[in-house]
Amino acid sequence: MNAEHKAGWILFATTALAGLGWIFSKETIQGLPPFGFVGLRFLVASICLLPLCIKRFRELTVALLGQAMGGGVILSLALLSWVYAISISETLGEGAFIVSLSMIIVPIIAWILYQDRPKRAFWFSMPIAVAGLAMLSLTNGWNSSAGQLWFLANACLLALHFNVNSKLARKVPVLLLTCIQLFVTGVIALIASALFETFPTSVDASIWGWFALSALLATSLRYVMQTLGQKGCNPANAALIMLFEPIWTVVLSIVWYGEQLSGNKLIGCGLILTALIFYRTDGRLLKRRH
């Protein structure tokens, strides 16, 4: 298995953790304020990673530290918009697929920022993936809501962060970069919580259990794996692999919350998988049939 295929499998596993993260987060904010939850979650995650990378700080220049922190600012804005959208949204499935639009936006931003033109196969795959996302998002009709708009804002910010992080991962050690960005996100989120939220006087023990899963598995481990995957994977390729996150989220929502998987959602998942296969093979599978 070559390096890029290995990176692809790491990203695929990352999408499963990300899907679990939606469940962990939804459960946690039943007892913690959304911004406060994100702040504590990412601060704890960064502290867990610190012993593994503290010696690497000496390798950083001031410029690289500033760039890593800048990436953390983008990530914090993305996460704050995401958790707020979760707190006001009734379903996880639709939100997950709106957020996954960020993976469609990623190659376009890479082209704009870095003149990194996507492969030709991407432009054939993208409309298929968008159609699949539409089938999933429009299952019960499209009714514009505040939650959908916040999920869309999150998608745009995630696409920007994905591109910036892919470049930073080639210049800054993975664990160190992840630790810095998680710390910056935690600090900014806690500041936002202090300004706009009131922390409860008591929190149930079960909420802290969900919080621990969110911080350790869906944050520390997930972002290390994502950064590793991005380091060895073409951005457009990585972007399409990350489309598996909403599929995992829908499946887990069905298992955990009993959400219904309609015919439209099945068609949508099929279209997304078709787009992924087409892109991954540069259309070779379809060409062989002719």
pLDDT tens, 97-120?
778 777 778 888 888 888 888 877
What does the alpha-carbon distance between residue 21 and residue 81 come to, in Å, rounded to a whole number? 15
Domain boundaries, the chain: 3-286
What does the alpha-carbon distance between residue 219 and residue 223 come to, in Å, rounded to a whole number? 6
More confident residue, 266 or 19: 19
Positive or negative torsion for Cα 114, 108, 277, 79: positive
Structure-token pair, residue 154: 């999150």
Q: Which of 168, 152, 1, 141 is nearest to 73 (CA)?
A: 168
pLDDT tens, 137-189?
665 555 456 777 788 889 889 989 988 988 888 888 888 998 999 999 999 99
pLDDT tens, 24-69?
988 999 999 999 999 998 898 889 888 888 888 888 889 999 999 9
Q: Report whether pLDDT(221) > 60.
A: yes
In the three-class reduction of DSSP (H, G, I as helix; E, B as strand; rest coil), residue 169 is classed as: coil
Q: Are 247 and 269 in contact (CB under 8 A)?
A: yes
Answering whether pTM is above 0.85, one says no
DSSP string of 45-69?
Answer: HHHHHHHHHGGGGGG--HHHHHHHH
Q: Report whether pLDDT(284) > 70.
A: no
In the three-class reduction of DSSP (H, G, I as helix; E, B as strand; rest coil), residue 170 is classed as: coil
Structure-token pair, residue 162: 């994905």
